[in-house]
Amino acid sequence: MRKDGSRVPVLVVIAAFDQQLDRGVAFVVDLTERKRAEAEAREAQIELRRASERLAQATRAASLAELSASIAHEVNQPLGAAITNAQAGLRWLKREPPDLTEVKTAFDEVVRAGNRAADVVASVRRMVKKAPGQGDNVRVNDEITEIVAITHGEATKHGVSVRTELARDVPTIKGDPVELQQVLLNLTVNAIQAMSSLKDGVRELVIRSEADGRGGVVVSVIDTGPGLDPEARERIFQPFYTSKEGGLGLGLSICRSIIESYGGQLWVNANSPRGAVFQFTLPPKRPY
């Protein structure tokens, strides 16, 4: 006990020198500092657990925010296409006489875009439920052709000519066609928007497919836009990095995640004499 009445934690050791146990030594060690350090360590562990719980909550909140932004970003494109085609259909209806063929074409595109948005939402729901993607036989050339049709209005509006170079020997891929459409749509719309800022020169978009010789596919999206500076090429796939005003910076990050989930790669190089070349590979079988 201390003079003030508080208890002192001590270690008492007694040792005998001989067999008769009549001689020996004893000493007392004050454990106050050790006990204080142990108490501080326990408190630090408690605080660490609390911090881990707060970090886990923040991570869940960030994941939810990123997922919400992803849904908004991916659904916004087909909804924009639906609005554009609906407006075009209304203009054709107001003509004298109305051009019903063009009206039907426009509203067919509205239905297609609406179904596209529904497919994106269904794909996100599968991701949230951690359900495996559809193991369909995906014809890459067919998906490219569909995306070109979906973005025809956007390309025409910005004066962009679109050309496809699709190899006939491209194999089918096991995977989810909606995920592949997400990637193709994002890369195509990005290229069109990049070329819309050009003051002069040719605005041409080329989408190319070819077999990689190992049973997989290589897809290239080539534009004649302003291109990317070296710093942008290094950061463009990082989440929330964007060079577009009002952009979320999620599209390319999502695209890379999708392609990598197939065991493929997505990268970008400079086009010559100007523009950018986005390329991705798809192996023959998705590694679930």
Give me the pLDDT at residue 114, please. Answer: 86
Give me the pLDDT at residue 218, please. Answer: 94
Confidence check: pLDDT of 148 > 90: no
Q: Which of 28-37, 41-50, 92-101, 240-249 has the lowest mean pLDDT?
A: 240-249
What is the percentage of the chain residues whose pLDDT exceeds 90?
12
Compute the average pLDDT of residues 34-42: 88
Every domain of the chain and the residues it spans:
35-128, 136-282
Report the alpha-carbon distance of residue 65 to residue 229 in Å, rounded.
29
Other beta carbons within 10 angstroms of residue 111's beta carbon come to: 11
Give me the pLDDT at residue 213, please. Answer: 81
Compute the average pLDDT of residues 18-25: 76
Report the alpha-carbon distance of residue 46 to residue 151 in Å, rounded.
55
Q: For strand 204-211 and strand 266-270, is the pairing parallel, antiparallel, or unpaired? A: unpaired
Give me the pLDDT at residue 42, please. Answer: 87
Give me the pLDDT at residue 278, please. Answer: 92
Q: What is the CATH number of domain 35-128?
A: 1.10.287
What is the percentage of the chain residues whose pLDDT exceeds 70?
81
Identity (one letter) of the amino acid at 173?
Answer: I
Give me the pLDDT at residue 117, please. Answer: 80
Rounded to two decimals, the pTM is: 0.55
* 221-239 pLDDT, tens digit each: 999 988 877 777 677 777 6
The third-level CATH classification (topology) of the domain covering 136-282 is Heat Shock Protein 90 (3.30.565)
Give me the pLDDT at residue 131, please. Answer: 46
Q: For strand 204-211 and strand 161-166, is the pairing parallel, antiparallel, or unpaired? A: parallel
Helix ranges, the chain (H): 32-94, 100-128, 140-150, 152-157, 177-195, 230-235, 251-261
**Which tops the pLDDT comparison, 62 or 27?**
27
> 30 CB contacts (<8 Å, ≥6 apart)?
8, 9, 10
Compute the average pLDDT of residues 226-255: 70
**Which tops the pLDDT comparison, 112 or 59?**
112
* 106-128 pLDDT, tens digit each: 899 899 888 878 876 775 565 45
**Which tops the pLDDT comparison, 167 or 17?**
167
Instruction: Name the band, by pLDDT with cuts 50, 70 and 90, for residue 248.
Output: low
> 134 CB contacts (<8 Å, ≥6 apart)?
175, 176, 177, 178
Q: First and final CA of the chain: distance in angstroms?
A: 66
Q: Which of 13-17, 189-193, 277-281 has the lowest mean pLDDT?
A: 13-17
